[in-house]
Every structure is written in C-alpha cells, then in structure tokens.
Structure 1
Amino acid sequence: MPLSEAWFFRIKSAQQDLIMRCGGIVRAAEKCSSSKTEVGRWNNQLDPDLMPLPAVLQLEEVCGVPVVTSAMAELNGRRLADPEAFGTANATMMAAHAEVVVQFGELIAKAAMAFSDGKLTPAELAGIDRGAAALERAVAELRKSAASARAAGGLSIVGGVA
C-alpha cells in the first residue's frame, strides 16, 4: 500500500481507540511510562507523533486488544486471528447484535448531521471515524459471539434448547 495520509489517519484512529480502551490519556501515560503530554500528542489526530512500538505493545497488553497491531495488519492486507474466539460459547448473542444496531444508528445519525451542510470538516470526519471504530468494535464482538455459539452447537434464543 503506498504511504499516504490515509494510512496515517488509520493508525492515529487506532491509537485513539487504544488510549480510550486503556482509560484515557492519564491512565495510558501511567501504563506505558510516558508523559501525559506525549500520550496527548499520540491521541491528537492532527499531531504527527505516532506511538513507539514498546508503548503500543504495553498498552495493548493492558487492554487485552491488539488495536494498533490489527490496524497495521489491516493496512498490509492481513488480519489477526484470535485463538480464544472459538473456545467458549457466548450466550450474549442478542446483546452483541443490539450493540451493532445502536452503533450503526449512531454512525448514520452522526454522518447525516455532518453531510447536512454539504461540507465535511476535519472534526466531523474524525467524529465519523470514531463512530465507525465503535461500530467496528461492536461487529467484532458480534462475530466473536456468533463463532463461540456456533462452536458450542448453537444457542437457544427464546425458551427451548439449541
């Protein structure tokens, strides 16, 4: 993939997600032994600073989700596999589905408001990206739930047995 601004904003968005999952700028700074100012720069879409690899690995370990690593794999036409995703049946299928619907609705509403004046500002685009990231997380959880339920032989949604 040729290096363009798109890869940069994808990585910056992943960094923001990672920092959020770790509890915000202050908590992330504590967890990776960096200053709040430095983590704030990593969290700012318009700042050119990217996280160093040790900070990425430390924060991904803290939150348990390879957010930035997955984005880097995605930028290279790859995706990561979760070895535990198929091991445990998950009875939260309906809750995961509901979260996808909620996040989709929020993304559509945010985008519609942004499109309404015929212009998309950098702030509106960042908001749409955050909404898409939330939807992406919800879809990933739904897929994990479906895979776990499938591995367990299915689920009984209402009464009865699977």
Structure 2
Amino acid sequence: MDAFLFRVKAAQRDLIERCGGIMRVVDKSGYSKSEVGRWNNGAEPDLMSVGAIAVLERDCGQALVTAVLAETNGRRLTDPDETRKAEVNVLTSHAELMRQTAELANAIAIAISDGQVTPSEATTVDRVAGGLERAASDLRASLAVIKARGGAAAGLKVVGE
C-alpha cells in the first residue's frame, strides 16, 4: 500500500472508533462485521464505500475520511459548526494538546527504542498521532473563536491572593 492508502485506512479506523466501534458501524452502515473489520484493519486493503463514509461521517459529525481525500487533492475542509468551536475552551484544548503530545513522544520512543519500527508500532503511533491532530484542531477552533470575538479572558486566576 502507498502512503495515501495508509492515511485513508487510519481515517477509517478513527471514523469507526468515533462511531462507537465495529458493531455499531455494522448496525449503522448495513455492512457485515467481517467487512467493517477489514475497513478497521490497517493490513487489509478494503476501503469504505462512499455511501458508508457519508452515513458514518454524518453520524459522528466529523468528515475524517473526506478530509483525507480533500488533502490528497490539495484542498482542506472547513468546519461549519461554529457552535462546537465556541464551546471549545482554549485552556482545556491546550491541556489536551500537551497530553497528546506527551503520549505521541512516548509512543515514538517505544517504537524506535530497538532501532526498528514495525508495522504494528507504526499503527500504534499513527493512532496516537490522530489524537494529536484532533487536539490541535480543537485548539485552533478555540483560537479562531477568540479572534472572531476580538479577544477573550484567559480565565486564569492567581492562587494565594
């Protein structure tokens, strides 16, 4: 498989996870457990149908596979859900981004500790990187809201005064 297919497969795994796992995706999509399992398995070449992608992305509210397809053609999707962006707090988003960064550093350190990165280790690191991407996206969304509002209080308090 080439890098594009690995990105699509990672997006499919994330989509299945965000939709509640394999069995819930079976119920939502009408595809068999075996087929959904192959979509979820990075070693299998099976890709979701456009119909399944549309149903599942609508279900979880995130265009994960569609975003990868757009990026392949030099495009980016925009998130029309301003309400979600407004609810994201910059401090919480920053904390989650830092947590995900540490988790990624740990996963990579483990993967390279023996001087060889296996496909299984690459899959593990890729899953963690997906979490980091989500955290960065949430932080960027909260910052966009702050810019649109012309600024915001940071919500920090000095303890002990």
TM-score when normalising by structure 1: 0.91
Shift of 1:84: 2.9
Q: What is the DSSP-based 3-state SS (H/G/I as helix, E as strand, rest coil) of the residue aligned with 1:61?
A: helix
Q: How does 1:75-86 map to 2 (within 5 A)?
A: 75-85=72-82
In 1, the alpha carbon distance for the partners of 2:19 and 2:116 equals 33
In 1, the alpha carbon distance for the partners of 2:150 and 2:85 equals 11
Alignment RMSD, CA only? 1.8
8 Å contact kept, 2:86–2:145: yes
Q: Classify 1:37/1:18 alpha carbon distance in 2 versus 1 (closer, same or farther; 3 Å).
A: same
Match of 2:146 in 1: 149
Structure having the higher helix fraction is 2
Match of 2:113 in 1: 116
Match of 1:12 in 2: 9
8 Å contact kept, 2:101–2:132: yes
8 Å contact kept, 1:86–1:151: no
% identical equivalent positions: 47
Q: How does 1:41-60 map to 2 (within 5 A)?
A: 41-60=38-57
Aligned length: 157
Match of 1:69 in 2: 66
Match of 2:123 in 1: 126
8 Å contact kept, 1:91–1:155: no
In 2, the alpha carbon distance for the partners of 1:87 and 1:134 equals 18
TM-score when normalising by structure 2: 0.91
One-letter amino acid matched to 2:51: P
In 1, the alpha carbon distance for the partners of 2:88 and 2:35 equals 41
Q: Classify 1:138/1:91 alpha carbon distance in 2 versus 1 (closer, same or farther; 3 Å).
A: closer
One-letter amino acid matched to 1:147: A
Q: What is the DSSP-based 3-state SS (H/G/I as helix, E as strand, rest coil) of the residue aligned with 1:34?
A: coil
Q: What is the DSSP-based 3-state SS (H/G/I as helix, E as strand, rest coil) of the residue aligned with 1:158?
A: coil
55-64 vs 89-98, greater mean Cα deviation: 89-98
One-letter amino acid matched to 1:151: A
Shift of 1:81: 1.0
In 2, the alpha carbon distance for the partners of 1:130 and 1:65 equals 16
8 Å contact kept, 2:88–2:138: no
Shift of 1:150: 1.7
Runs of at least 5 residues in structure 2 that lack an aligned partner in the other structure: none
User: Displaced runs of 4+ in structure 1, greater than 4 A?
Assistant: none
Q: Classify 1:27/1:91 alpha carbon distance in 2 versus 1 (closer, same or farther; 3 Å).
A: closer
Shift of 1:128: 0.9
Shift of 1:154: 1.6
8 Å contact kept, 2:85–2:138: no
